[in-house]
Chain A
Amino acid sequence: MLKEILFRNKTNFQFVFATIGALIGLTALCLSFQLMLDVQSFHSGEEDLFGPNSVVIQKKVTKLSSLGMNSTDFSDEEVEELRNKEFITDVAPFESADFRVAISEVEGDGLPPFYADMFFQSIPDRFLDLDVDWDWNEESEYIPIVLPRDFIMIINYGIAQSQGFNQISEELMLAARLTIHIKGKDGNTKMIGRVVGFSQKISSILVPKSFLDHANEKYGSGNKIQPNRIFITTVDDSYGELEELMDDMNLDIAKSAIDVAKIKTIIGVVIGIFGIAAVLIMLLSLMGFVQYSQLVLSKASYEIQTLLRLGYSIKMIVKTFIKQMAITFGIITISAISIMILIKLLIVDVWLDDNGIQLESSSLIPAILLAILCFGIFVGANFLNVKKTVRKLGE
């Protein structure tokens, strides 16, 4: 009966307006938050550390370089300069082998006979984009090797055809052992290696750093080798600075990495603007609801005063009022979460996929928690407002 008394004079126009505003605002807020999380997880997920935010840089090879007059090595000063750039958060030079390497098949392991000169490089483990067994010590059975994925393509669709040997499947490549021929300062030695994975992103032949350090010490000439390729990790939205750095240092960076970084920045900005607009809509609708409750309360002021005079407590009146508001906000919140999930799955994800942007979907729980937090703020703000107004009417 209390509900009937208190809401007798409600104004539907304000209510509908505030409800639609809250629904749109909350849906937009949750959606932008969810997309922001998706993009964020793309930025910082461990498996994606060497994502568009981590790029390999090297100096462009020029005519002078070809003549040996212009080195593509990075000096210690240049590495230090990179470390000091504010938009660069991590710098890791590639280490190269200080000895000559060649590989050949291990007889009986299924690979055709071959012998090829090679090179080894290593990178800090944190930059490796594969989840493979990458430990090596002197007791290890074999040396783990990671090849670029393009390497197997070149063999199968180029070398195999021209040299007349059978194509090699990825499985066979991973199962077969390789003989590693090392030619160092103290003569030659052979070791066993095994391909443990193929990297999409690193166009180098990688071995564990622990092996390379050991081998360089044992077989190397002792000369210090300056790095010619460096991993850098940049902060988000810094493609502008990166392009500037490329010009300054005459660098060569995979264009795709820059493009993806650019797309990410644009997506981030768009989602950010969308999110700010959503917060503004939410604030407006919150004000709408506060005004709506003020209006309903002022229209029910006679009823509220009389109820208080009959012995109804402020708590009972506020509870009746807030219960109705909470049901409304609850329906808005559940609807907003449902619409947000539908939009994300049926429109945004499909659009991103169609446009070749692969975003790992992160958990929906934070966005749902955000919606519940908004529900709490709405109920809390209205509770305080209603309580204050009812008390004022009673006094």
Chain B
Amino acid sequence: MTIEFNNVLPFPLQEYPHGPESVWKNTFKIDFPKKVVLNASSGKGKSTFVNTIYGIRQDFEGTVKLDNADISNFTLDEWIELRRTKLSIIFQDLQLFPELTVMQNLQLKNELTNHREESRLIEMLELLGIGDKQNQLCKNLSLGQQQRVAIIRSLLQPFELLLMDEPFSHLDDNNAKIALDLIAKETELNNGGFILTTLGGYHGFDYEQELNL
């Protein structure tokens, strides 16, 4: 998958100055599979960047292209198809279903994509240290535990690009390392790449390209 930005500037960020290294008001192209990190302090537009590529935000000027196609021309149905087959995401606000159990949250995605056996879901939960939480309602979990559920959910589909918006913000270094290893392994299996946004912690992340805001 190829992502191309041509002078993109979100409307809410028009008032702010953007440096020559910034992804905003700049032109660049990334060919995936590749491991990319986007490091910036809070309020610079990390989530805006991720959500723009994911098609949730369309309030920008300039052109964004996915595989040479201008995303402003994509229909909702085309976005949905992309989100099922090529693009996966870990939202900063997780977007889990709080009234469903951990397992139901994972099954909801897995039943849609038919991507993994249920035994593999349990393996992943255990690997991330929440194997005993599978029947608990998500709303009763800590933020760190919820974050791990969201990480596993993002891996239950084929993808060429995994977008991660501060996915380890509530995890300690050890758990972040375990999660990152799992993500790296699944990404390789999918022959895909990812973009990780972070406030500064790299969690031992071995990236190939860094973007700035």
Contact = CB atoms under 8 A, between A and B. Distances in A.
Contacts of B100: 1, 4-5
B76 A394 contact: yes
A314 B80 contact: yes
A4 B112 CA distance: 16
A306 B154 CA distance: 13
Interface of B is mostly: helix
B77 A309 contact: no
Interface stretch (B20-28, B64-72, B103-111, B123-131): B103-111
A294 B76 CA distance: 21
Contacts of A394: 76, 80
A308 B97 contact: no
Interface in B105-161: 107-109, 111-113, 153, 157
Given A1-B104, A1-B111, A311 B97 contact: no
A310 interface: yes
Contacts, number: 48
B83 interface: yes
B47 to A, nearest CB: 13
A106 to B, nearest CB: 89
B211 interface: no
A309 B95 contact: yes
Interface string B82-104: 01110001010001010110001
A221 interface: no
B96 to A, nearest CB: 8
B12 to A, nearest CB: 19
B107 A1 contact: yes
B95 A312 contact: no
B30 interface: no
Contacts of A324: none
B178 interface: no
A303 interface: yes
Interface of A: 1, 4-5, 8, 303, 306-314, 391, 394-395
Interface of B: 54, 56, 76-77, 80-81, 83-85, 89, 91, 95, 97, 99-100, 104, 107-109, 111-113, 153, 157
9 contacts: A1-B100, A303-B97, A310-B108, A310-B109, A310-B153, A311-B113, A313-B80, A314-B77, A394-B76
